[in-house]
Structures are given as C-alpha cells and as structure tokens.
Amino acid sequence: MPKARTTVTLDEDVFRAVKIKAARTGKRDSEVIEESLRRDLGLDALAQLWAKVTPAPEDEGLKLAYDELHAMREERRAEGDS
C-alpha cells in the first residue's frame, strides 16, 4: 500500500512510550504509531475476522446464505401464524 508522509505533534509521554515500544519490539517508530492507529480505528477488524473464518467456497457459501435466510424467514412466518 502506498505511504503518505505526515507530521504529528505528540505529548512527550506518548512519544516516549512510542520510542520504548519500538525499541522493545524492534520496530520503527512509524510502525508502532501506525499499528496503534489501525487498532484504534478498527482498520484490521475485518481482516482479523476473516482470518478466523473457515472459508466457504463462493458458490456453496452463497447458496447456504440464501437457503438459510429463506428458512429462517419461513420459520418466523410460521411462528407468527401460530
């Protein structure tokens, strides 16, 4: 992914914490800041969820999605009628 350069002003204690974490993990300051922002902004949430999923083949997943959606609606209709 292309990178964009920016300048930010941080409180000294935050900057110190970035430096410490970078030294401890062997990462660059910018990587620590970017990872923190990604976590806070939820940018990795979808990728993390997909990483946990056992992927369904597309055709199979799509068929199952609609079969089960229609079955669920049918059950709800039946419950409403009874």
Partner 1 sequence: MPRAILEPGVLVSALITPTGTAAKVLRAAREGNFDLLVSRLLLDELETVLRRDKFRRYLDLDDVSAGIRLLLDEGQLVEDPDGPPPLRCADPADDYLIALARQEEAALVSGDRHLLDLAGKIPVFSPSEFLAEQL
DSSP string, 33-63: HHHHHHHHHTTTHHHHHHHHS-PPPHHHHHH
52 forms part of the interface with partner 1 (CB under 8 A):
yes
The answer to the question of residue 55 lying near partner 1 (CB under 8 A) is: yes
Among 14, 20, 37, 61, binds partner 1 (CB under 8 A): 61
DSSP state, residue 39: H
Query: Cα–Cα distance between 73 and 46 in angstroms, integer?
Result: 27
Task: Out of 11, 49, 78, 82, point to the residue binding partner 1 (CB under 8 A).
Answer: 49
Pick the binder of partner 1 from 58, 78, 80, 81 (CB under 8 A). Answer: 58
Residue 41 near residue 26, CB atoms below 8 Å: no
Q: Which residues bind partner 1 (CB under 8 A)?
A: 42-43, 45-46, 49-50, 52-58, 61-62, 64-66, 68-73, 77
